[in-house]
Amino acid sequence: MIVRLIRKEVDTESGKILYDLPFTREVLEKYWKIYTGEWYLDGEWLTGKNPGNFPGMIISRLDYPGNVIVEFEARTVLPCTHDINFMWNGSWDEEKNQRGYSYVAGIQGWWNGKVGIEKSPEYKLTACTPLFNFEPGRIYRILGGSINGHCFICADGRLLLEVTDPDPIDNQKYAKVGFEAYCSHIQIRNLKIREARWREIDEIYIPEFCSRCWITLITA
């Protein structure tokens, strides 16, 4: 899949695979750590359940540094209708017992059914949009990541939101991946983590209404 960002073209399938394991009891114990909320296996699904108004977090034990893309299938468990959230370039603050520096993205969250991207722990960078027709219980293929602070999230092959962080997280120092249930009941499967591969592109408009302008443009 090619994702066209502002001045970037991202190939979401060509990067080196860093993680590609089914969720099993052994994988869960070896590669993941539960911090808050209830997390367990239901067949092939990693299931998160958290009735509280705070992030119920499960976070990778290993680091996945650099520019990465996180891709997975997910759904809410009915009657739950909201908040499928995940993080990358992340960390956990052991002293405060809360999420530290991280990029967080999700669908049907932010209290009013929005797709969003935010930067933890200060949340001074937040971008949201309500323009996604979410269906509770439906399985979505979700993909998100960042390139030097240029963050994006997609669902079912469609770019939903992008935002550029003017002060990018140090993705060599903060490199955990995780999932969040925020007063929600969600399921995750078929997780892959990849190195992000992209190329810079020039953005230019071609005049649609002035042939002389077009001739001037291509001969400049």
Q: Which CATH architecture has domain 2-219?
A: Sandwich (2.60)
Q: Residue 205: what pLDDT?
A: 84
Phi, psi angle pair for 182, to nearest 5°: -110, 100
DSSP code for 179: E
Lowest mean pLDDT among 23-27, 95-99, 125-129, 162-166: 95-99
Whose structure tokens read 């520096």? Answer: 101
For the question of whether the overall pTM of this predicted structure is more than 0.85, the answer is yes
Do the strands 184-195 and 68-76 form a parallel or antiparallel pair, or are they unpaired? Answer: antiparallel
Q: Residue 212: what pLDDT?
A: 64
Question: What's the CA gap between 7 and 137, in Å, rounded?
Answer: 35
Domain boundaries of the chain, sorted by first residue? 2-219
Q: Residue 208: what pLDDT?
A: 75
Both tokens assigned to 31? 């590669």
> 211 pLDDT band (50/70/90 cuts)?
low
Instruction: Give the mean pLDDT of 209-220.
Output: 59
Distances in whole angstroms, Cα of residue 159 to Cα of each of 39, 83, 132: 29, 18, 11
Instruction: Give the mean pLDDT of 127-140.
Output: 98
Render pLDDT for 98-120 as a digit per residue (tens, 0 to 9). Answer: 999 999 999 999 999 999 999 99
